Amino acid sequence: MGRFILRRLLQGIPTLFGVTLISFALWRFSPGDPVSRLVFGAQNVTAEEIAALRHFYGLDQSLPEQYLSWLGRIAHLDFGQSFLYHRPVTDMIMSALPNTLQLALVSLTIALVIGIPLGVIAARSRGSFIDQVVRVFGVAGHAIPSFWFGYLFILVFAVQFGLFPVGGMLTIGKSELDVADRLRHLVGPAIALSLAGIANYSRLMRTETLDILGQDFIRAAQAKGLRPRTVLYVHALRNALLPIITALGGLLAVLVSGSLVIEQVFAWPGMGRMIYEAAVSKDYPIVMAAVFISGFLLVISYIARDIAYGVADPRVRR
């Protein structure tokens, strides 16, 4: 197992270099270099001053040199300055990331805790009314756009009934440590974000469980004289949960880059909203940092998935 993990980690390194190359290229080949942006519209800028600025940003070096020095800087977690806010990108990410993680982890937990049992219950009583409801929900949950659901939630529960706030993370003026207030702000975006997850996991779990329950080894487990519960939880679920691990594979990256749409709808001060605003206002250092970080986390989460798979499925371990 140790060798397996080590090998997967080593295999991740070239992928990671690919990710840095792409984020670098994204920056360098996008229209307008930082200096021409900076001096845009300025009347009395001399050529010497522009040259000095280009030297300051390192743009007078060759592309490979620039790439290497950029690599060196991100190795120290220095992603440069935001063009728009003139603040270190690393600081901005560090303040937005916890908010995003909070929202993402809550909605993921909701999706798994509701989705998986729902799928198992539907499979166990196939053809029943519950099964029909789960199946219809499985389609509807996918088809309903999360932003539409988000606005509907705001319209009904925030505007009409005033039960929940319209957006944001905290009521202005309230203490940072007011947990009840934070939770009230969390309800809307968390539900909107978990909707697709619930639909996805319940559908996946239903199909998988049904498939496994039809297998001979389940009949063999029954014939052994095991309790029906043991057959379901030990023999069937251990096999049916594998695809959920696969589905969770790319999740870490999604969690961190946040939900672009939902954070926008609920004015949630997270990574998603930050990236969205940066992209709209061509704030490349932030976009680049975001691409690199989500690429990095994607690689990490695939490795984590493979390891989890190796633990769960003896056939993968080699």
Partner 1 sequence: MAASTFQETTSTATAGSGRNLVVVDNLVMHFPLTQGIIFQRQVGAVRAVDGISFFVEKGETLGLVGESGCGKSTTGRALLQLYEPTGGSVRFDGTELTTLKGESLRKMRRRMQMIFQDPYASLNPRMTVGDIIGEPIEVHHLAAGRKKQDRVQELLKVVGLNPYFTNRYPHEFSGGQRQRIGVARALAVEPDFIVCDEPISALDVSIRAQIVNLLEELQGKFNLTYLFIAHDLSVVRHISDRVAVMYLGKIVELADRKELYDHPLHPYTQALLSAVPIPDPKIEAKRRRIILTGDVPSPVNPPSGCRFHTRCWKAQKICSEVDPEFIEHSARHWAACHFPG
Q: Which stretch binds partner 1 (CB under 8 A): 11-19, 109-117, 189-197, 223-231?
A: 223-231
Does position 221 interact with partner 1 (CB under 8 A)? The reply is yes
Distance of closest approach, residue 37 Cβ to partner 1, in angstroms: 57
CB neighbours of 103 closer than 8 A, spacing ≥ 6?
A: 186, 189, 190, 193, 258, 259, 262, 263, 268, 270
Does position 2 interact with partner 1 (CB under 8 A)? The reply is no
- Judged by CB under 8 A, the residue of 238, 246, 277, 281 near partner 1 is 238
Does position 235 interact with partner 1 (CB under 8 A)? The reply is yes
Nearest to 59 by CA among 80, 86, 85: 80
- Judged by CB under 8 A, the residue of 30, 95, 109, 132 near partner 1 is 132
Q: Which two tokens stand for residue 15?
A: 């992928």
Q: Which two tokens stand for residue 102?
A: 């909070």
- Judged by CB under 8 A, the residue of 51, 217, 233, 277 near partner 1 is 217
Nearest to 207 by CA among 118, 89, 96, 80: 118
Does position 127 interact with partner 1 (CB under 8 A)? The reply is yes
Distance (Å, whole) CA 306 – CA 318: 12
In the block, residue with structure tokens 């909070």 = 102
Does position 155 interact with partner 1 (CB under 8 A)? The reply is no
Does position 307 interact with partner 1 (CB under 8 A)? The reply is no
Return the number of other C-beta atoms located less than 10 Å from residue 183's C-beta: 12
Does position 219 interact with partner 1 (CB under 8 A)? The reply is yes
CB neighbours of 67 closer than 8 A, spacing ≥ 6?
A: 20, 21, 24
In the block, residue with structure tokens 């993370």 = 169
Does position 312 interact with partner 1 (CB under 8 A)? The reply is yes
Q: Which stretch binds partner 1 (CB under 8 A): 33-41, 46-54, 261-269, 310-318?
A: 310-318
- Judged by CB under 8 A, the residue of 112, 114, 187, 226 near partner 1 is 226
List residues binding partner 1 (CB under 8 A): 127, 132, 215-217, 219-227, 235, 238-239, 312-315
